[in-house]
């Protein structure tokens, strides 16, 4: 009942729901403890019920408004509201992970490992473990059972769903993930310490340590085996078949979008950006380097001016469109990226002169907001695809999660290219 209450509490307001969930979580822990069931189960269940989602632009704008109110009137009440607003714009999962990761990584796990891993290895213990059903069972369970269960479950789901539910990687990678799963030891030590004692516990710990080493070696062997797979099938084995689903709900249109790079791309990189965003400014050279590194890449810029924090961003976006009407979108784009702190109307007019377009026509378009609808269309497409911050990248229609340095984006581009090649080969077959 407590767990059901936690799920229901998620529907309350965030502050009240969180408080109710904490009380019910503690109650659930004590109930399991008193019933004889290991209370660690409560943590696993609550973790599954913890929400995770991408921040919404409306929540981010609301948080920005609260910060602005505090800036205008710095009172304790508004400071509390701003802090709460900023916190609530992120998912519960991200907030908990941020708060607890240092403690779990550097305190809890090391103390647990040191407290539970202690065993004196002697020739007698090793000889006894070699014939122990406990040791052999653990080793087989991790080195053999883990890969079979993980890959087997994925294969069964793939079959019974008719291919609709499938891994996002190739089957060789799935098997490698299964072998790597045998490397974990903390939960194994916890279960062993609860279920066993004396010599059986010592034999179990030997089995766990052997499993860690064996699983690591087996994982290495699985991925090394890729060299023996014919090159035509190697891509599918590692990255799988291409994912037909799209995160980018507004497809790239060469008649509307601003595109840089090849006209026949194998990979298309879409960036939603803001000309006053410092992160976008730092990422701009990355896009240029990617185009040099990947000749088959097309780079698409779409506007997402964050007007609540960048007062000049919307005007800058419209300025690039006004320049684009005279065939100079990318020249103005590069100029603004290099002068993000100077985006006043006078600055924009001087840039128009520098890039060689008609400044009078440019300023008329800017004053009349002739291209406001064009920028608004990009903003709507960003909302539809869940792009709330800048820069946000989509690679062949799939949202890029993670760092956006050149190496990370380049690796994602290579994967997308492999998927495209696989799709072409599938159609040829």
94 and 123 assigned to the same domain:
no
305 belongs to a structural domain? yes
What gap in Å lies between CA 36 and CA 326, rounded to an integer? 76
Does 127 fall in a domain? yes
Q: Catalogue the E-assigned strands of 294-404.
A: 297-303, 392-395, 398-399
pTM over 0.85: no
Question: Same domain, yes or no, for 418 and 304?
Answer: yes
Residue 208 makes CB contacts below 8 A (sequence gap 6+) with 138, 142, 185, 188, 189, 192
Measured CA to CA in angstroms, residue 361 lies from 36, 313, 356, 365, 367 at distances of 79, 21, 12, 6, 10
Q: What is the pLDDT of residue 265?
A: 94
Tell me which residues of the chain have a pLDDT lower than 50. Answer: none
In whole angstroms, what separates CA 325 from the centre of its chain? Answer: 36
Give pLDDT, residue 427. 55
| Domain termination site, one of 50, 72, 88 | 50
The span from the CA of 355 to the CA of 320, in Å, is: 12
Residues 352 and 278 in one domain: yes
Distance in angstroms (rounded) separating the CA atoms of residues 139 and 203: 11
- Give one DSSP letter per residue of 35-100, joined into a string: HTS-THHHHHHHHHHS---PPPHHHHHHHHHHHHHHHHS--HHHHHHHHHHHHHTS-HHHHHHHHH
Could you tell me if 40 and 124 lie in one domain? no
Residue 110 within a domain = no
Shared-domain flag, residues 29 and 135 = no
229 and 279 share one domain: no
Asked if residue 109 belongs to a domain, the reply is no
pLDDT in the model for residue 20: 81
What CA–CA distance (Å, rounded) separates 261 from 295? Answer: 7
Whether 100 is covered by a domain: the verdict is yes
Please report the DSSP string for 165-223 in residue order: S--SS-HHHHHHHHHHGGG--HHHHHHHHHH--HHHHHHHHHHHHHHHHHHHHHHHHHH
Domains identified in the chain, total number: 4
CB count in 10 Å sphere of residue 74: 10
Residue 304 lies in a domain: yes
Instruction: End-to-end CA distance of the chain: give it in Å, rounded.
Output: 54
303 occurs within a structural domain: yes
Check whether residue 379 and residue 282 sit in a common domain: yes
Residue 428: the pLDDT is: 53
Contact 348/315 with Cβ under 8 angstroms?
Answer: yes
Omega before residue 391 within 30° of 0, cis: yes
Closest CA to 66 of 90, 35, 89, 39: 89
Residue 415's domain is classified under what CATH number? Answer: 3.40.30.10
How does strand 398-399 pair with strand 392-395?
Answer: antiparallel
**Residue 303: what pLDDT?**
97
**What pLDDT does residue 393 have?**
96
Residue tagged 């100079």 (tokens) = 328
pLDDT of residue 340: 95
Tokens matching residue 229: 């797979």
Same domain? 125 vs 266: no
Q: Considering just the CA atoms, what is the radius of gyration of the chain in Å?
A: 28
Q: Which domain holds residue 322?
A: 258-428
Is the domain of 297 the same as that of 321? yes
Same-domain status, 76 and 134: no
Query: What is the per-residue pLDDT for 241?
Result: 64
131 and 221 both lie in a single domain: yes
The tokens describing 88, both together, are 């609530």
Evaluate whether residue 397 is within a structural domain: yes
Q: Is 282 in the same domain as 394?
A: yes
Stretch (H or E) spanning 271: strand 267-273
Last-in-domain residue among 206, 239, 272: 239
């Amino acid at each position: 009942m407590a767990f059901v209450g936690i799920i229901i509490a998620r529907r309350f307001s965030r502050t009240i729901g969180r408080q109710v969930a904490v009380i019910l979580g503690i109650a659930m822990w004590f109930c399991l403890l008193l019933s004889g069931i290991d209370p660690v189960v409560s943590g696993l269940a609550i973790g599954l019920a913890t929400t995770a989602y991408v921040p919404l632009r409306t929540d981010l704008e609301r948080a920005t408004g609260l910060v602005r109110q505090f800036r205008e009137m710095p009172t304790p009440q508004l400071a509390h509201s701003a802090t709460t607003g900023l916190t609530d714009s992120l998912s519960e999962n991200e907030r908990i992970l941020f708060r607890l990761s240092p403690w779990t990584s550097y305190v809890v796990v090391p103390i647990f490992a040191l407290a539970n891993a202690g065993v004196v290895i002697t020739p007698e213990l090793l000889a006894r473990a070699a014939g122990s059903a406990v040791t052999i069972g653990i080793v087989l369970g991790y080195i053999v059972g883990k890969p079979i269960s993980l890959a087997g479950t994925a294969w069964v789901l793939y079959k019974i769903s008719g291919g609709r539910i499938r891994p996002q990687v190739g089957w060789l990678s799935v098997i490698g993930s299964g072998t790597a799963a045998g490397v974990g030891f903390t939960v194994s030590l916890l279960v062993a310490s609860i279920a066993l004692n004396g010599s059986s516990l010592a034999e179990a710990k030997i089995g766990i340590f052997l499993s860690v080493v064996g699983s690591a070696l087996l994982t290495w062997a699985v991925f090394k085996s890729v060299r023996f797979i014919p090159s035509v099938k190697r891509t599918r084995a590692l990255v799988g078949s291409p994912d037909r689903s799209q995160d980018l709900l507004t497809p790239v249109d060469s008649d509307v979008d601003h595109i840089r790079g090849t006209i026949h791309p194998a990979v298309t990189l879409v960036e939603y950006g803001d000309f006053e965003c410092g992160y976008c400014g730092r990422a701009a050279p990355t896009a240029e380097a990617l185009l040099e590194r990947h000749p088959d890449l097309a780079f698409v810029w779409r506007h997402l001016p964050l007007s609540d924090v960048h007062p000049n961003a919307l005007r800058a976006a419209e300025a690039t469109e006004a320049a684009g009407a005279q065939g100079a979108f990318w020249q103005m784009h590069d100029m603004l990226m290099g002068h993000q702190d100077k985006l006043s109307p006078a600055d924009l007019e001087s840039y128009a002169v520098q890039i060689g377009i008609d400044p009078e026509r440019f300023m008329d378009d800017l004053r009349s907001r002739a291209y406001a609808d064009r920028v608004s269309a990009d903003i709507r497409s960003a909302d539809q695809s869940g792009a709330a911050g800048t820069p946000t990248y989509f690679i062949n229609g799939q949202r890029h999660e993670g760092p956006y340095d050149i190496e990370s984006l380049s690796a994602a581009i290579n994967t997308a290219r492999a998927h495209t090649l696989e799709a072409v080969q599938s159609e040829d077959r």
